[in-house]
Amino acid sequence: MSGVRRRRGGPAPRPRSRLAITAPERTPERPGPGPIPPTVLRSLDLAVLRRVESLVPGEHLTSQVGGGTELAMIRPYRPGDDVRHIDWNVTARLREPHVRVHVGERAMTAWLLLDVSASMTFGTADRRKTDVAEGVALAIAHVATRRGNRLGVVAVGGGEPRIMRPRQGRLGLLALLAELRTEPEADGAGSTALGDATRKTAALARNRGLIVVVSDFRGDRDWEAPLRALRGRHGVLAVEIRDPRELELPPVGDLWFSDPETGRQVSVNTSRRGVRKRFAKAAAAERDEVTAALRRTGAEHLVLSTDGDWLRALAGHLRRSEMRTRSVRGGRAA
């Protein structure tokens, strides 16, 4: 006997369709971010939320009155007002019923600016850069779509950015997973248009919130000025993803190197120690320049690697940042 009740004299109601969240297919060449235990995400929840609040400039409130916790005004009682909001001390003093009106809290909107360019497919350690980016995106989305908050996604590569409007809860996660199922661009698709995507995100993100940029920050640095402007209104967390082989060469003889975004190729004899030393020095200097540029924007900067436990590194960074924020707030209060 079916558990669906049929109304007398009418058709049987249609069963509810449930939205299914399916992970992208995993293969040895596309291993994914690795396990992300729900228990770890729950332990990160409070740390991430507090860090989000500390990253957002100004109050996390609207200019409208509503059901928040901050007092906006006390005014005389009007018919239809909730009697639970009566301020009995003021009522007794003025001998007329008065109610407390609070500033309304708004749901926060977070934006994920996700690099899906061809350079993100590179990886010589435990996984590819795009796999780490996927894990970070899922961890941030886990928190950003809860408690009425919304998540929007801007996927940027060599062409026009793909934009997914902010959504709450399960719909927000579905939109993100749909984007994650799309493989990064093929080689030769062009340089990452991160600066243009940042400007588009600034135009979309009208209310104050959190912007998380996940990229390897390779190519043109046209993102510095728009990212600085974005930080003037929003909290910005820049997550840079690196692979060990981008910083040093192994001594394995002649190798052909190809730029996955432009298609440019060059042959290098990695057996020569001088070549390896010059490469390591130039690579370190280039990453130092990226770090300095991100520092000038005012964004918080986190470096993750394809080698090792990226989730532990992310959790450690957020917890240390939370402790620093609480320490600063405690000092100001004293």
**For strand 254-258 and strand 265-269, is the pairing parallel, antiparallel, or unpaired?**
antiparallel
Q: What is the DSSP letter of 127?
A: S
In a domain, 28, yes or no: no
In a domain, 26, yes or no: no
Q: Looking at the structure, do residues 142 and 233 belong to the same domain, yes or no? A: yes
Q: Looking at the structure, do residues 94 and 120 belong to the same domain, yes or no? A: no
In a domain, 187, yes or no: yes
Q: Looking at the structure, do residues 94 and 184 belong to the same domain, yes or no? A: no
Q: Looking at the structure, do residues 82 and 191 belong to the same domain, yes or no? A: no
Q: Looking at the structure, do residues 111 and 97 belong to the same domain, yes or no? A: no
What's the CATH code of the domain at 213? 3.40.50.410
Q: Looking at the structure, do residues 72 and 45 belong to the same domain, yes or no? A: no
Q: In what order do the strands lie in the sheet with 70-76?
A: 61-66, 98-105, 70-76
Q: Looking at the structure, do residues 299 and 193 belong to the same domain, yes or no? A: yes
Domain count, the chain: 2
Q: Looking at the structure, do residues 46 and 176 belong to the same domain, yes or no? A: yes
Low-confidence ranges of the chain (pLDDT < 50): 1-7, 10, 13-21, 57-66, 68-69, 105
Write the pLDDT tens digit of every residue in 86-109.
999 999 999 999 998 865 545 678
pLDDT score at 17 = 39
pLDDT score at 297 = 96
pLDDT score at 49 = 57
Report DSSP letters for 205-255, one per residue: --S--EEEEEE---S--TTHHHHHHHHTTSEEEEEEEE-GGGT---S-SEE
Helices (H) and strands (E) in the chain, counts: 8, 11
In a domain, 16, yes or no: no
Q: Looking at the structure, do residues 272 and 137 belong to the same domain, yes or no? A: yes
In a domain, 76, yes or no: yes
Q: Looking at the structure, do residues 154 and 201 belong to the same domain, yes or no? A: yes
- The model carries a pTM of 0.73
Q: Looking at the structure, do residues 74 and 182 belong to the same domain, yes or no? A: no
In a domain, 291, yes or no: yes
- Give the residue numbers spanning the domain of 282: 40-56+107-320
pLDDT score at 325 = 56
Per 3-state DSSP, the chain is made up of helix, strand and coil in percentages (nearest 5) of 40, 20, 40
Which residue bears the tokens 């100004």? 58
Write the pLDDT tens digit of every residue in 224-236.
999 999 999 898 9
Question: How is residue 333 written in tokens?
Answer: 């209060």
pLDDT score at 96 = 93
Q: Looking at the structure, do residues 74 and 119 belong to the same domain, yes or no? A: no
In a domain, 119, yes or no: yes
**For strand 109-115 and strand 150-156, is the pairing parallel, antiparallel, or unpaired?**
parallel
In a domain, 9, yes or no: no
